[in-house]
Chains A and B, each alone.
Chain A
Amino acid sequence: GNSVTQMEGPVTLSEEAFLTINCTYTATGYPSLFWYVQYPGEGLQLLLKATKADDKGSNKGFEATYRKETTSFHLEKGSVQVSDSAVYFCALSGEHAGGTSYGKLTFGQGTILTVHP
């Protein structure tokens, strides 16, 4: 079955530091890949997505590239802010996107990020 593995946290950084959160996946076919962010006490917000190999998703300074050869979708940001402190989830949708709707999501275990001033 499908699975997603994220680097274990928590991750603690100083403001303006470089961020990388590793994510690898196992899936059949051509999954779509996502990063979601969860702020304390809230639901999930879509941060970025990529639907095919070599696609780069980006949003709010975050980016991740869909690497089929390494089955990875690592999240990066060049300069983090205190407001980026949250839990980050990597996820995949097993259906082939290709312009169609997305199926149920399989999540990684989440990585807690804390950014200090």
Chain B
Amino acid sequence: GAVVSQHPSRVICKSGTSVKIECRSLDFQATTMFWYRQFPKKSLMLMATSNEGSKATYEQGVEKDKFLINHASLTLSTLTVTSAHPEDSSFYICSARDRNSNQPQHFGDGTRLSIL
């Protein structure tokens, strides 16, 4: 079945570091990918919609310069948390929609980001 791979699964780094998270669709092409953030024991908050070959669409209140999204191919989207600070620590989850299928989004397993 369709699989979305997210990497890394966990990252711990110092404050001020930039961190890149990858989201890959392994066996399908995704013109649209979504990035979510999940706080402990909370729901998922959509951060942005990543569109292949064009700029991402950010949700209200999400800083574009803080969370850089690149969707350069039909199978890869990246989220870069720039100059990360402890308040950026969270669980980030991506999802992807198969352009050739009438099925809902497939989710990655998430990335646990911890900023010290």
Contact A107 B107 (CB under 8 A): no
Q: Are A109 and B107 touching (Cβ within 8 A)?
A: no
Chain B CB within 8 A of A25 CB: no
B4, B104, B110: which contacts A102 (Cβ < 8 A)? B104
Question: Chain A interface mostly helix, strand, loop or mixed?
Answer: strand
Q: Is B25 an interface residue (CB 8 A)?
A: no
- Given A42-B109, A43-B109, A102-B97: A34 and B42 within 8 A (CB)? no
Task: Give the residues in chain B near A110, CB-CB below 8 Å.
Answer: 41-43
Whether A44 contacts B97 by the Cβ 8 Å rule is: no
Please judge, given known A-B contacts A42-B110, A93-B104, whether A104 and B34 are in contact too, CB under 8 Å. yes
Task: Report whether A34 and B104 are in contact in the complex, using a CB–CB cutoff of 8 Å.
Answer: yes
Q: Which residues of A contact B46 (CB under 8 A)?
A: 104-106
CA distance A98 to B40 in the complex (A): 35
Q: Are A89 and B107 in contact (CB under 8 A)?
A: no
B8 CB to nearest A CB, Å: 13
Are B6 and A101 in contact (CB-based, < 8 A)? Answer: no
Q: B105: CB under 8 A from chain A?
A: yes
Where the two chains meet, the residues of B that have a C-beta atom closer than 8 Å to any C-beta of A are: 4, 6, 34, 41-44, 46, 49, 93, 95, 97, 99, 101-110, 112
Q: Which residues of A contact B (CB under 8 A)?
A: 32, 34, 36, 41-46, 49, 89, 93, 99-102, 104-110, 112
Kindly list the 10 A-B residue pairs having the minimum CB-CB distance in the complex, ordered from nearest.
A43-B107, A43-B109, A44-B107, A109-B43, A43-B110, A107-B43, A102-B104, A107-B44, A43-B108, A110-B43
User: What are 20 pairs between A and B in contact, CB < 8 Å?
Assistant: A34-B104, A41-B110, A42-B109, A43-B4, A43-B93, A44-B95, A93-B104, A101-B97, A101-B101, A101-B102, A102-B105, A104-B46, A106-B46, A107-B43, A108-B43, A109-B43, A110-B41, A110-B42, A110-B43, A112-B41
